[in-house]
Amino acid sequence: MRELIVEADGGSRGNPGPAGYGAVVIDAATGETLAEAAEYLGVTTNNVAEYSGLVAGLRAARDLDPTATVRVRMDSKLVVEQMSGRWQIKHPAMRPLAAEARSILPPDRVTYEWIPRAENKHADRLANEAMDAGKRGEQWSPSQSTADLDAGGAARSAAPVKGRGELRDQPQPTRSQTTPRSTPDVRATPEAPGSVAPLEGRGELRDQPQPTRTRTTPVATPDTNDIRAARNVASEAPTAGAAPPDLGTPTTFVLLRHGETPLTPQKRFSGSGGSDPALSDTGRDQADRVATALAARGTVQDVISSPLARCRETAAIVAARLGLDVRIEDGLRETDFGAWEGLTFAEVRERYPDDMSAWLSAPDAEPTGGGESFEAVAHRVGAARDELLAAHTGRTVLLVSHVTPIKTLVRLALGAPPEALFRMELSAASLSVVAYYGDGNASVRLLNDTSALR
């Protein structure tokens, strides 16, 4: 039976913001690009864009060969885990999209695989091209696309596809239709893009005018590369004297580390795989002091907590003072530290020196006994961030969490490398603040503020 590979991606410059998707169908035996799909979606979230890319890619694969098996490769851990059935689909807006994706081909002929962002370059470029086209008031045009060339399509067609390690370029706004290599260009009527400033993030609901559906067109040939590159460069030239866009109200995450537990002053590893301690008397006092400070500010509109006891207790104390309910988000839980749970740093260094050295030097290294790597935590926290941004656009949200997730949110906002986690101090019951703007940028406004405790 023939095997096809679908690589898909989606993005939103804001979450929600101007969004688009890209998808590519590849012959697994030869590595040849068989079809491309991309579309500007108007204003929606990153998760919606990712699922839309998945749907378009599966449809394109079905149209090419309805009897083939399909291997889907995406850099969205959320979509891969949800479509594989390992994670629940909590957001109601995602369920219809997931159901649509499952209905395209028999489920037993479709498998899902997570890949690093660097290996999903082709779909990413298509998505960015579609968003760029939407920014210009157009739909994506295959005749102007350089995604296949930029992703190394010509060289790839000579060998079977096992993985794709090219580095992703910086996000270029783009996405839009389905384009088998050998079929004629069937143009769709462009839809007017949503009139908002570019945003980033990853999201869910399409709440702005939807662009026209995917269309089918041939992948452009290499000899047009220079012409299309020149057009793309020209389209990005800034307009002299143009006023900066109105980015609107940012979505603000107020990040509160839980109060102390009996393990905190002992500096013991206390993650999601351990004893799940409650707050100590000191920790409850800290939570009460932070609640007083936040109530005086009067800016928090929603409270969301890690499922672990120390965070739920901290969140409940603060939410009661603010007159708000607490929602639980599993993605905010602390790292699973495996066999290190309950041990001090010195004890781990003594018992598992090689594992500790690897963990401190490599983001994909796991704690002894099968705990979570920093890389795995970053994927989980990033997915939770994107869902929360989509659900709480323009609001100020208190996230009650732990050291690693909070440091990870700060690191991702700064675009800092993984080793930055070791260069931040985060005290119990401290407050940090990150604002997410409509142009896709994030601003770290506060880090490790403990003034409420003094």
Q: Residue 114 phi/psi, 5° resolution?
A: -85, 140
Contact 51, 8 (CB under 8 A): no
Give dist(CA 103, CA 127) in Å, integer. 23
**Residue the block writes with tokens 């905190």:** 264
Handedness of CA 106, 376, 301, 284 (dihedral sign): positive
Give dist(CA 450, CA 454) in Å, integer. 7
**Catalytic residue of the set 36, 260, 334, 366:** 334
DSSP secondary structure string, 86-143?
Answer: SS---STTHHHHHHHHHHHS-GGGEEEEE--GGG-HHHHHHHHHHHHHHHTT----GG
Nearest to 9 by CA among 202, 140, 229, 210: 202
Give dist(CA 426, CA 448) in Å, integer. 5
Annotated catalytic residue 392: no
Give dist(CA 169, CA 125) in Å, integer. 8
What stretch of H or E contains 79?
helix 77-83
DSSP secondary structure string, 29-68?
Answer: TT--EEEEEEEEEEEE-HHHHHHHHHHHHHHHHHHH-TTS
**Residue the block writes with tokens 């889907």:** 72
Give dist(CA 259, CA 42) in Å, integer. 42
- The CA-to-CA distance between both ends of the chain, in Å, stands at 68
**Catalytic residue of the set 91, 258, 379, 392:** 258
Contact 219, 33 (CB under 8 A): yes
Residue type at 175 in one-letter notation: R
Contact 163, 151 (CB under 8 A): no
Give dist(CA 388, CA 293) in Å, integer. 24
Contact 361, 306 (CB under 8 A): no
β pairing state of 3-12 and 69-74 = parallel
Annotated catalytic residue 334: yes
Give dist(CA 413, CA 151) in Å, integer. 27
Give dist(CA 112, CA 292) in Å, integer. 47
Residues taking part in catalysis: 258, 334
